[in-house]
């Protein structure tokens, strides 16, 4: 029986905890994870997405067994239309594709887009919704979680990561904000900490998966 979900995962070794798109404990059932050799954080999280070598993702998408295929990095949003055109499967490059829907309900002032690296996330990543670039908030370089991911560290203190992230989130929350969009697929494990700060709705890679493959993501991570 084919898997409901295939994850095209970057070539990383950093710790992926429950709630992370690339952690098998995030899901109710078995999922297929295809590691894309050479697709490191440094190779994908860049400000010129058109220069990414997309061929390994093209090949993996063709080989994917899941009815829904997603990637483990929101910075691949630039390639959404290109990759979707290669397959009849439902494909989600990034939670940023939710801007098509969210833009109907929220202005840039009402949306916070929380990204791994604001310096590398350009209007090109947002495509037709580049007006929402002003809504982008990036994790600081000295944030513990960003350091773990950037340095590809295999150990992760979940409590420390969650505490720092919640504090940073609270400092950047504005009265105008009505909805939170998490670009980074490594942030969903900490949604419960963000919800301690505010009760705004949150869209991320897991909610996008759930919209296409209901019941695959464990409810506690939605």
| 51 and 126 in a common domain | no
Owning domain of residue 29: 5-94+206-221
DSSP string, 11-31: S--S---BTBTT-GGGBSS--
| 108 and 77 in a common domain | no
Give 179-188 pLDDT, tens digit per residue. 999 999 999 9
| 184 and 154 in a common domain | yes
Give 78-119 pLDDT, tens digit per residue. 999 999 999 999 999 999 999 999 999 999 999 999 999 999
CATH number of domain containing 81: 3.40.50
Average pLDDT over residues 44-55: 98
What is the structure's pLDDT at 105? Answer: 98
Among 126, 101, 110, smallest CA distance to 183 is for: 126
What is the structure's pLDDT at 78? Answer: 98
| 103 and 86 in a common domain | no
Answer for the pair 14, 154: CB distance below 8 angstroms, yes or no.
Answer: yes
CA–CA dist 126, 128 (Å, integer): 6
CA–CA dist 136, 142 (Å, integer): 18
DSSP 103: T
| 109 and 68 in a common domain | no
The continuous run of DSSP H or E covering 137 comes out as strand 136-138
How many domains in the chain? 2
| 217 and 192 in a common domain | no
| 143 and 74 in a common domain | no
Q: Above pLDDT 90, what percent of the chain?
A: 99
Report CA Rg, the chain: 16
Burial group, residue 63, by CB count within 10 angstroms (0-12, 13-18, 19+) = exposed
Among 77, 72, 165, 93, smallest CA distance to 128 is for: 77
| 101 and 199 in a common domain | yes
Give 15-24 pLDDT, tens digit per residue. 999 999 999 9
| 100 and 188 in a common domain | yes
Answer for the pair 2, 31: CB distance below 8 angstroms, yes or no.
Answer: no
Residue 1: band (very low, low, confident or very high) from pLDDT cuts 50, 70, 90: low
Mean pLDDT value across the chain: 97
Among 118, 160, 120, 126, smallest CA distance to 143 is for: 160
């Amino acid at each position: 029986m084919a898997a409901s979900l295939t994850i095209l995962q970057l070539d990383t070794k950093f710790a992926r905890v429950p709630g992370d798109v690339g952690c098998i404990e995030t899901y109710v059932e078995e999922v297929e994870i295809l590691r894309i050799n050479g697709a490191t954080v440094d190779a994908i999280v860049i400000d010129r997405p058109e220069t990414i070598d997309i061929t390994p993702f093209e090949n993996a998408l063709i080989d994917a067994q899941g009815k829904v295929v997603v990637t483990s990095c929101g910075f691949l949003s630039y390639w959404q239309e290109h990759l979707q055109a290669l397959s009849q499967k439902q494909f989600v490059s990034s939670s940023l594709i939710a801007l098509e829907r969210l833009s109907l309900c929220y202005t840039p002032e009402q949306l916070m887009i929380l990204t791994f690296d604001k310096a590398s996330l350009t209007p090109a990543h947002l495509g037709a919704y580049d007006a929402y670039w002003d809504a982008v908030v990036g994790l600081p370089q000295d944030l513990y979680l960003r350091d773990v991911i950037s340095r590809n560290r295999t150990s992760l203190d979940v409590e420390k990561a969650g505490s720092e992230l919640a504090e940073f989130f609270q400092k950047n929350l504005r009265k105008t904000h009505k909805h939170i969009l998490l670009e980074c697929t490594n942030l969903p494990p900490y949604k419960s900490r963000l919800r301690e700060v505010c009760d705004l709705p949150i869209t991320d890679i897991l909610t996008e998966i759930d919209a296409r493959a209901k019941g695959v993501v464990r409810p506690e991570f939605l």
